Structure 1
Amino acid sequence: MKRLLLSAIALLSIQFLRAQESVDTISSVYDFDYPITVTATAARAETPVTFVNLDREDIAVRNLGQDAPYLLKWTPSVVVNSDAGTGIGYTGIWIRGSDPTRTNITINGIPYNDSESQGVYWVNLPDFSSSADMIQIQRGVGTSTNGAGAFGASINFTTVGEESDPGIHLDGGVGSFGTRRGVVRYRGTTDNGYTIDARYSKIHSDGYIDRASADLDGYYAAVSKKVGNGLISLVAFGGHEVTYQSWNGVTQTEIDTFGRTFNSVGTEKAGDPYDNEVDNYRQNHYQLHYNSKLTDALDLTLSGHYTRGLGYFEQYKANETLADYGIEAEVDESDLIRRRWLDNHFYGTVYSLRYRQDRWDLTFGGSANEYLGGHYGEVIWARYAGDSEIRDRYYDNDATKRDFSNYLRANYRLVDEVSVYLDGQVRHVQYDFIGLDERLNQLEQDASHTFFNPKAGLVYLPATGTRLYASFGVAQREPNRNDFVDNPVSTRPVAEKLYNTEIGFSRMLSRANYGINLYYMDYRDQLVLTGALNDVGEYIRTNVPESYRLGVELQGGVQVVPNLTVGGNLTLSRNRVNSFTELLDDWNEGGQVEVVREDTPLSFSPDVTGALEVAYDRKFQQHRIGAALQTKYVGDRYVDNSGADQSKLDGYYYSDLRLSYGLNDRYRLTFMLRNLTNQLYSSNGWSYRYQLDGAANTMLGMYPQAGRNFMLSLGIDL
């Protein structure tokens, strides 16, 4: 690994030494732009954290309707997955191996992660990237943020506060797997000073995986007006998704028998698979922002928000025990169709006060949020319905989660080139829910956590475009809903803790930029699946005492000749669990057997990831042509923490080719050929571990991704 690291540094250094002339066409995926944003949690040049910004132009070039993770997949240390195999529908993003529940997402400073599961459901925001002015990815603990603290990374979307050209924009596209996309957008200013930004998007895909279709509707609307020294913005956005489920993945046996696009969802029904095994969910977000310059040195930001979510997933279940559904009938078992509902509300306020005077830059901020979550299930049809009635609920429970946090962040310039950074956050979480007690009864319970998360660092800015920084930060995170609900108090897991050290250097030259970052992420009590069962036989997560991530990230870009640029990034890392006890189901004797594992790979954490882009862009007269070849490499990963070869997903690479033509700055035609070399790979998976005849075995599930496929898009500005 050391030899590979030195070779990579030498290769990148040779490229960067060639820089001489000015260029502004290097993709922001590979540069180090530091714009001022409207959100107090965003990082700036003088903030000693590791981050990358994608601006509006870079987003637009890559955005052909896939979910947001697929626009970010070329940035350092990122791996993405799509259940349907196409990047449309249910998708996920891993940063430095940290899973999606450990990445904090904010939209205009408002937390987006689901309060209970801590997950992120991009499918609920179809085509949202079309309304983003900037996306900032912070790797590591990052700055103090709102909502659940970043436990590996954070992604901040900004949609308000940037000037834009007025007009109507139309975008339409078609592609493989029956993909269709239509977008209409309006931006303008009224005579009395109101700025309007509105968008509606509609996307359909049949999916690469069998029946994994997606029908998505997304919208965005913002009205802003300057009032004195302030700006008031009212923002509404959301979406409605109906996706056929493809959550199960596929085993190797199923691939050998039915092919890699096989979908077991819906096949409990005899004959043809059930045609309405769908996830149907609608989510609407409302935000009110007020930004004001109170004095030359003092800025105020106040935001209020409300999110409404309602929907269900539907399942055909064969030979279900009717007593489990509270149904009395002449038979014990029946085929039935059930819907499992989520009915939730999320609301609160976010605030910050920033003071800048002489050498001081101080920010005090925080948030107060409440989540109301309703969980219930209905049987909408049964072959033997017994005494059941329409809309009977076979389970019905509510949960309330309150999240309060405040932080104080200070930057002090010791001298013109050196700044000291201090950041302290206090966060309190109160969770009321229905879960197991010591006698395995379902009762109302509560849990609370209070965290103090300090951060400190230094930034050295010796010259324009040169940045050297070092930082240390602490993040703590409460367990998620399942951890609370599935465990009585005596076996409930404790909060996770992360100690994060970052050291980085970056430089922007006239024709190139480059950077290197070293990181060490030291975990205490990280929650992982070990095969452990609770007292009712459900698999639960448990705390492992010590685990870590250690790595180096290289990033850069260079203009080789006029109009031709090369950019890329490379991450080399080591991700390990120091020691834990794995529990395997014993298929011979029953029960479970314990196996002590030491120095095993952390799940879903490749030791190597990299991306490379070669791009050509030329404008002459009224024409603009572009071409880009992008390649992504992801090393071997394990779907559990055992380190067993049977639990390994093989490393893979793929290349995308993008061709574009523009006319009069009004018409843009883009052709994207994805997975150019038709690589057959799986980007996610699951495992079931057991022991048979004294040997450990793994049942491995995988999520195959689409082979070669295309998308053609036409954009028109009216």
Structure 2
Amino acid sequence: MEILFNKRNKKQEARPEAKPNGAKLNKIAFYCLFSFLFSHASYSQEKVQDTTKVNQLDEVLVSGVRANKKNPVTYTNVTKEEIAPRNLGQDIPILLNYLPSVVTTTDAGNGVGYTYMRVRGADGSRINVTLNGVPFNDSESQGTYFVDLPDFASSLESVQLQRGVGTSTNGAGAFGASLNMQTKSFQEKAYAEISSSGGSFGTRKHTLAFGTGLHDNLEINGRISQIASDGYIDRASTNMFGYFFNINYVKKSTSLQFITFGGKEKTYQAWNGLEDPYLLENNRTFNSVGMYTDENGNTKFYDDETDNYWQHHFQLHWSEKWSEKWTSNVALHYTLGKGYYEQYREDADLADYNLPDFEGNSVADLVRQKWLKNDFFGTTFSLNYKHNKTDILFGGAANRYLGKHFGEVVWTQFYVPNANKYYDNYGNKDDVNFYAKASQTFGKINFFADLQYRMVFYKAISEDFADVNDTFRFFNPKAGATYQLNSKNAIYVYAGIANKEPRRDDYENGSIKPERLFDYELGWKYNAKKVTVNTNAFYMQYKNQLVLTGALNDVGSPIFTNSGHSYRYGIEIESVIKAIKKLTFQPNITLSQNKNKDFYFQRDGVLQNLGNTNIAFSPDIVFGNATTYSPIKNLNLTLLNKFVGKQFMGNIDSQASVLKAYNVHDLNVTYLWNINKGIKSILFSGLVNNIFDYKYESNGYFYTYDDDFSTPGVITTIEGTGYYPQAGINFLAGATLKF
């Protein structure tokens, strides 16, 4: 049943101020440059290490959760070199926008701040994300908030996006995709980089990176960044500070890495979208968040209607190559998060906030903060045996999440209350999994098996739902085979099962059944000198799938409901075509059908079986392409195109819930100037987004409610929609200096 709720907040109760300290930035910058100069001066005297084994150990870091070319898994790899040309301030989902089956959106309309991605129609809470094999999804909401990792793309070595169930991984189950990100680690030679970019809507990014090079088996590299933007949407500003530091010890068959990264963000909320058709047509940047009426009847906006959050990650990885056959990796990790979002509430009932009446006034304007403090820690591990045609991997993880949720009123129009908590609850979660993966080649056939056992223990209390003390035990088997027809052609078949526990919000909404997914994949890979083609057919069958209703709850989070039985099937094709020496095409397309079976909905007071309906936010066609032309050496001109077909924002196939198809083109220009005189090189980058100034909305919401007041005794279902407009033509430009 689709129900009316109010707008959306992305982090339950979450998010402190993100203004980086200038003095601290100067000290860090000085240290970075000093480290570089020292290492550069002494590097010529350092004996060059044999890095063959070190590079192999670097791969061990993510081997437990990644697929390789022999595995019958559908995936796409992205390197740091492919990310760099468009890394001018926009967040990771936007940088991955042109991958197969990917649909992205952004609250502020210009790709900075809160950004999201869907894969095969599955939203961020269905996409398993790991950082060096360590889970990144929030344990309770299961969402991914890349705004907490400002400029993280500048510290990435590579990314792998697996579509479907994929291989066993750590953390929340993959119900649409897995995103495995590997950060930069060992850097053999000293370096320093300074990059700066800016553009439309006051967007600017400044990054300083350095590496000492390898000396006596020790190497340090790092990055500090600041990103800020006013946003396309009114007041949708963001101010972010991010950092990344990595200390590496490498010697023969041993690698030790200590990695710390994180950041702070302050973002003005832009979560309401637009419901008024007139505003959508004539004032697309209007933002109602923070709007209130003062005592004189004037419309005003609260300045601090902001989301504030900081997050720090600490990882310690030990990789060991015990022999030519055996390697292992053990990691310890800890993530500390803390923050709040602040809201102005007009004519609020004081009793709801545990506040006394003031001289007979039981309602008042007030400012509230909703807080989230969390600790996430644990271990991941893997042991790999590889010999000739046999590859066996044992691995797993044990993680604990401690989340504290509380709300405070910091001001009312009558008085400033003492620090009071009008709610105070928690959510604690333990997640343990073990898996075994085996790959065996016989002649031209490689067989693959993957067995995972996962246990989840969740305890939570809240004023919004009954106390939770649930235990889930899941068995997730996968198997498949790859047949190498010849040097250019291979086909594969895959079947896998995934199970997933409900999220915190699902308990509040009454959708508390665990989900199950049966995923079947059949693929063909063609790899020639000038053409590569990956074609994949998939059928994903769900039981109790939590699908987006399109509606939002009272703080703006999307609402899910168990849909009983549902399915997705389709075909994905991606290719790289080197037509001529200077011209390359990289098209991909996904054609799919996404249906709920026998979907029930209460309309006009009557429960109806609507039959098979479209799953919300699941377009039937998604197309992407990158056409790159290199007229002269080191100059690349890339025309990017993304087409997303029509989507329904609800599950009842209402025409009022349609999100129109859109077709957007971007132009990316890069030129690499090799100098090698003090400055090694300068990379100039330019990006013109939406070059045809196309008006479109990439996201929205749909709600219904029953109106029984117009005609006594008659119930009428009312429908409503809201949309998130995206920016018209806009640009970013920047330069990266390498020393």
TM-score relative to the length of structure 1: 0.89
- Give distance in 1, aligned partners of 2:537 and 2:334: 39
Identity across matched positions, percent = 39
- Look up the match of 2:694: 679
- Give distance in 1, aligned partners of 2:545 and 2:116: 20
- Look up the match of 2:507: 484
- Look up the match of 2:489: 466
Deviation at 1:559, TM superposition (A): 1.4
Match of 2:719 among 686, 698, 703: 698
SS at match of 1:150: coil
- Look up the match of 2:339: 311
Deviation at 1:371, TM superposition (A): 0.2
Contact 2:432/2:456, CA 8 A, preserved across alignment: yes
Match of 1:245 among 262, 266, 269: 269
- Look up the match of 1:392: 420
Deviation at 1:562, TM superposition (A): 1.2
Match of 1:573 among 584, 592, 597: 592
SS at match of 1:255: helix
- Look up the match of 1:14: none
**Residue 404 to residue 282, structure 1, CA distance change in 2 (3 Å):** same
- Look up the match of 2:682: 667
Match of 1:420 among 410, 433, 447: 447
Deviation at 1:412, TM superposition (A): 1.2
- Give distance in 1, aligned partners of 2:722 and 2:505: 22
The farther-off stretch of 269-278 and 247-256 is 247-256
SS at match of 1:646: helix
- Look up the match of 1:5: none
Match of 1:55 among 76, 79, 83: 79
> Given the alignment of the two structures, is residue 323 of structure 1 paired with residue 323 of structure 2, yes or no?
no
Tell me which amino acid in the other structure corresponds to 2:108.
A
- Give distance in 2, aligned partners of 1:505 and 1:573: 18
Match of 2:405 among 375, 380, 392: 375
SS at match of 1:598: coil
- Look up the match of 1:562: 581
The farther-off stretch of 95-104 and 225-234 is 225-234
Deviation at 1:38, TM superposition (A): 2.9
Match of 2:542 among 523, 537, 542: 523
Deviation at 1:528, TM superposition (A): 3.0
Contact 1:530/1:582, CA 8 A, preserved across alignment: no
- Look up the match of 2:373: 343
SS at match of 2:563: strand
**Residue 125 to residue 526, structure 1, CA distance change in 2 (3 Å):** same
SS at match of 2:419: coil
The farther-off stretch of 695-704 and 310-319 is 695-704
SS at match of 1:655: strand
- Give distance in 2, aligned partners of 1:547 and 1:347: 35
SS at match of 1:250: coil
Which residues in structure 2 correspond to 1:182-201 (within 5 Å)?
182-201=206-225
Greater relative contact order structure (CA < 8 Å, 6+ sep): 2
- Look up the match of 1:128: 152
Deviation at 1:269, TM superposition (A): 4.7
Deviation at 1:257, TM superposition (A): 8.1
> Given the alignment of the two structures, is residue 85 of structure 1 paired with residue 109 of structure 2, yes or no?
yes
Deviation at 1:519, TM superposition (A): 0.4
Contact 1:281/1:311, CA 8 A, preserved across alignment: yes
Contact 1:280/1:313, CA 8 A, preserved across alignment: yes
**Residue 164 to residue 179, structure 1, CA distance change in 2 (3 Å):** farther
**Residue 567 to residue 539, structure 1, CA distance change in 2 (3 Å):** closer
**Residue 342 to residue 403, structure 1, CA distance change in 2 (3 Å):** same
- Look up the match of 2:23: none
Deviation at 1:132, TM superposition (A): 0.4
Tell me which amino acid in the other structure corresponds to 1:409.
K
Tell me which amino acid in the other structure corresponds to 1:293.
K
- Give distance in 2, aligned partners of 1:249 and 1:476: 33
**Residue 59 to residue 212, structure 1, CA distance change in 2 (3 Å):** same
> Given the alignment of the two structures, is residue 548 of structure 1 paired with residue 576 of structure 2, yes or no?
no
Tell me which amino acid in the other structure corresponds to 2:532.
N
Contact 1:105/1:112, CA 8 A, preserved across alignment: yes
The farther-off stretch of 55-64 and 189-198 is 189-198
- Look up the match of 2:182: 158
> Given the alignment of the two structures, is residue 514 of structure 1 paired with residue 541 of structure 2, yes or no?
no
Deviation at 1:163, TM superposition (A): 4.5
Tell me which amino acid in the other structure corresponds to 1:344.
N
Deviation at 1:428, TM superposition (A): 0.4
SS at match of 1:603: coil
Q: 1:213-255 deviations in whole A, cap 9, x for unaligned?
A: 0101111110111144110000000010000000111113351
- Look up the match of 1:654: 664
> Given the alignment of the two structures, is residue 457 of structure 1 paired with residue 474 of structure 2, yes or no?
no
Deviation at 1:83, TM superposition (A): 0.4
Contact 1:532/1:582, CA 8 A, preserved across alignment: no
- Look up the match of 2:162: 138
Deviation at 1:555, TM superposition (A): 1.0
Deviation at 1:530, TM superposition (A): 5.4
Which residues in structure 2 correspond to 1:24-103 (within 5 Å)?
38-39=61-62, 40-103=64-127
Contact 2:439/2:447, CA 8 A, preserved across alignment: yes
> Given the alignment of the two structures, is residue 291 of structure 1 paired with residue 319 of structure 2, yes or no?
yes
Deviation at 1:659, TM superposition (A): 1.4
Deviation at 1:656, TM superposition (A): 0.4
RMSD: 2.1
Any stretches of 5+ residues in structure 2 without a counterpart? 1-57, 675-679, 708-713
**Residue 403 to residue 674, structure 1, CA distance change in 2 (3 Å):** same
Tell me which amino acid in the other structure corresponds to 1:48.
P
> Given the alignment of the two structures, is residue 617 of structure 1 paired with residue 630 of structure 2, yes or no?
yes
- Give distance in 2, aligned partners of 1:531 and 1:612: 29
Deviation at 1:258, TM superposition (A): 6.2
**Residue 298 to residue 505, structure 1, CA distance change in 2 (3 Å):** same
- Give distance in 2, aligned partners of 1:244 and 1:341: 16
Deviation at 1:67, TM superposition (A): 0.6
SS at match of 1:189: coil
- Give distance in 1, aligned partners of 2:267 and 2:610: 39
> Given the alignment of the two structures, is residue 639 of structure 1 paired with residue 639 of structure 2, yes or no?
no
- Look up the match of 1:689: 704
Contact 2:187/2:211, CA 8 A, preserved across alignment: no
Deviation at 1:413, TM superposition (A): 1.2
> Given the alignment of the two structures, is residue 605 of structure 1 paired with residue 615 of structure 2, yes or no?
no
Contact 1:151/1:475, CA 8 A, preserved across alignment: yes
Tell me which amino acid in the other structure corresponds to 2:461.
I
Deviation at 1:164, TM superposition (A): 6.0
Contact 1:37/1:161, CA 8 A, preserved across alignment: no
- Look up the match of 1:20: none
- Give distance in 2, aligned partners of 1:656 and 1:412: 44
Deviation at 1:695, TM superposition (A): 5.9
- Give distance in 2, aligned partners of 1:447 and 1:655: 47
TM-score relative to the length of structure 2: 0.86
The farther-off stretch of 707-716 and 267-276 is 267-276
- Give distance in 1, aligned partners of 2:717 and 2:572: 36
Contact 1:646/1:697, CA 8 A, preserved across alignment: no
- Look up the match of 2:238: 214
Deviation at 1:540, TM superposition (A): 6.1
- Give distance in 2, aligned partners of 1:147 and 1:455: 17
Tell me which amino acid in the other structure corresponds to 2:119.
I
- Look up the match of 1:352: 382
SS at match of 2:285: coil
- Look up the match of 1:13: none
Contact 2:526/2:533, CA 8 A, preserved across alignment: yes
Deviation at 1:690, TM superposition (A): 3.3
Match of 2:394 among 345, 359, 364: 364
Q: How many residues align?
A: 661
Deviation at 1:68, TM superposition (A): 0.3
